[in-house]
Structure 1
Amino acid sequence: MIHINKVRDLTGVTVRTLRYYDEIGLLKPASKTEGGHRLYTNEEVKKLQQVQFLKKVGFTLDEIKNMLASPDWDWSKSLKRQLSYVINEQENLKKTERALREMIHGIAIEGDDEWIAIHKIMRLSNNDKENQKSFRESIFKGKDKELLDKVPSMTSESSEVLEWIALLGQLKRNMKNGPEASNVQNIIRRMDEKRLEEFDGEDEFLDKLWKVRMSSEQSEKLGLYPIGEDVLEFMNQAYAIYLKRGKAQRE
């Protein structure tokens, strides 16, 4: 016979849990000592290991109790049902993860205006995905659809996307300095470098995307994070100055 304290040491299951399993009829001890301490055989320890495993893969204690008590239990059906449940839960968790990333990245762009970012993400999440897809396909076709997939997504955790988000946030916080300010021009320079890294020679696509981006309504229809029109106009002005200075230097 194995004393309850020894079972605890062997399996890592607490004495309190073992007592609870006894109370609900999930795992009864083989006997007790004169002092009332529970004693187990190797069979109970083996059953306890089964309980631990089934808990680990997501079954409830009631389900486990029925599964172990029934000699003709349909294990295949139960396991398939549990697998389906786990897959659905993973999908739900993925959706939650994407929403959290969007909010975190949105706050990084908006700075102190946290609720503005959260409100924008909430509005985007309520958009009809089928309408979004139809709008996307009505504007971007062929190669443009592939290029659109390379546009930074607010749900991504890649270093490239994180840099874009950081640059947008920096640009917004430095708008008070004016489009000609050196720190603003440095941000625009890095943005242009990243544009060339990803979309060199794709000016036609970028022009099309920028027209959509300049319209808050169309941006939302496409599922893009809504950047304020004042920020976009400021970016336009700063970029025009950047290009003009670059041209002057070349001449």
Structure 2
Amino acid sequence: MFHINEFKKLSGVSVRTFRYYDKIGLLKPVSKTEGGHRLYSYTELKKLQQIQFLKTIGFQLSEIKMMLESEEWDWSNSLMKQLSYVISEQDRLSKIETSLRELINGIAIDGEEFRIKKIMDLYNNQDSKEVLKNNRDTLNFKNTEALEKLPKMGSSDPDSLEWIALVGQLKKHMHLGYSNTRIQNIIKRMEVKKGEDFNDEDAFLDKLWDIRKSPEESEKYNLYPMDQEILNFMEKAYIYYLGHKS
């Protein structure tokens, strides 16, 4: 027999939890001492391990109680239902993860001017990649690889993060003027990266830039909303870069 404090050390479960399990009839002690302390055996320890395992895979205590008490319980059906629940939770958490990444990356671009409304607008709309794919002919891109390489606000891939960081740096240093060396170095890296990621997709990029410069078109294609000020500044800096490239 194990005194409740010994049982606690052996199982890693708190005394408070044992008392609650006793109260709801989930795990009752074998007996009690004269002083009223609960006593448990190896049988209860085995049952506790089953309870903890079922809790780990997501079952509620009320379900666990029925599962362990019933000799005719349909374990296969219960496990299939729990699997479906876990899969749906994965999908829900994945969407939350994407939203959090969009928030973080949005702040990287917009800084203190960032507004959560931008992410809420994107969250309620269709995936931008799907919208662009549905307009393949209009956008003149040759293959879907170009879409996969577009920066995604909810992504953690290095390429997307570099594009986001470059735009964020550009906005941060706008006050220096588009001809400033620091700004031109950012534009130079953008130009190099454009060649690395979108070789032979000039027609697609030109069309995409036209869409990006129009707030209405950007919204139509579900692109992350960017201030016209930064877009105009980027265009001027790029034109200056091309005119002074040695």
SS in 1 for 2:144: helix
Q: Distance in 2 between matches of 1:72 and 1:144?
A: 56
Q: Which moved more, 1:142-151 or 1:23-32?
A: 142-151
SS in 2 for 1:226: coil
Number of the residue aligned with 2:123: 125
Classify 1:37/1:62 alpha carbon distance in 2 versus 1 (closer, same or farther; 3 Å).
same
Amino acid at match of 1:80: M
1:120 and 1:226 in contact (8 A); partners too: yes
Classify 1:134/1:101 alpha carbon distance in 2 versus 1 (closer, same or farther; 3 Å).
closer
**Which deviations, in whole Å up to 9, do the C-alpha atoms of 1:71-107 show, x marking residues without a partner?**
1011111111111111111100100110111111111
Q: Distance in 1 between matches of 2:26 and 2:152?
A: 49
Number of the residue aligned with 1:78: 78
Classify 1:17/1:135 alpha carbon distance in 2 versus 1 (closer, same or farther; 3 Å).
same
SS in 1 for 2:112: coil
SS in 2 for 1:127: coil
Number of the residue aligned with 2:39: 39
SS in 1 for 2:39: strand
**Which deviations, in whole Å up to 9, do the C-alpha atoms of 1:162-213 show, x marking residues without a partner?**
2211111111122222211111111101111111111123212211221222
2:178 and 2:236 in contact (8 A); partners too: yes
SS in 1 for 2:150: coil
Amino acid at match of 1:121: I
Q: Distance in 2 between matches of 1:231 and 1:147?
A: 24
SS in 2 for 1:149: helix
Q: Distance in 2 between matches of 1:79 and 1:143?
A: 46
Does residue 103 of the first structure (1) align with residue 103 of the second (2)?
yes
Does residue 180 of the first structure (1) align with residue 179 of the second (2)?
yes
Alpha-carbon distance, 1:132 to partner? 7.8
Q: Distance in 1 between matches of 2:200 and 2:129?
A: 27
Q: Normalized against structure 1, the TM-score is what? A: 0.91
Q: Distance in 1 between matches of 2:30 and 2:123?
A: 56
Number of the residue aligned with 1:137: 134
Number of the residue aligned with 1:216: 215
Classify 1:217/1:144 alpha carbon distance in 2 versus 1 (closer, same or farther; 3 Å).
farther
Number of the residue aligned with 1:90: 90
**Percent identity over paired residues:** 55
Q: Normalized against structure 2, the TM-score is what? A: 0.93
Number of the residue aligned with 1:6: 6
Q: Distance in 1 between matches of 2:201 and 2:149?
A: 12
2:141 and 2:201 in contact (8 A); partners too: no
Number of the residue aligned with 1:19: 19
Alpha-carbon distance, 1:54 to partner? 0.5
Unpaired segments ≥5 residues, structure 2? none
SS in 2 for 1:89: helix
SS in 2 for 1:112: helix
Size of the aligned set, in residue pairs, is: 244
Q: Which moved more, 1:2-11 or 1:47-56?
A: 2-11
SS in 2 for 1:80: helix
Alignment of 1:163-178 (within 5 A): 163-178=162-177
Alpha-carbon distance, 1:61 to partner? 0.7
Alpha-carbon distance, 1:145 to partner? 2.9
Q: Distance in 2 between matches of 1:120 and 1:242?
A: 30
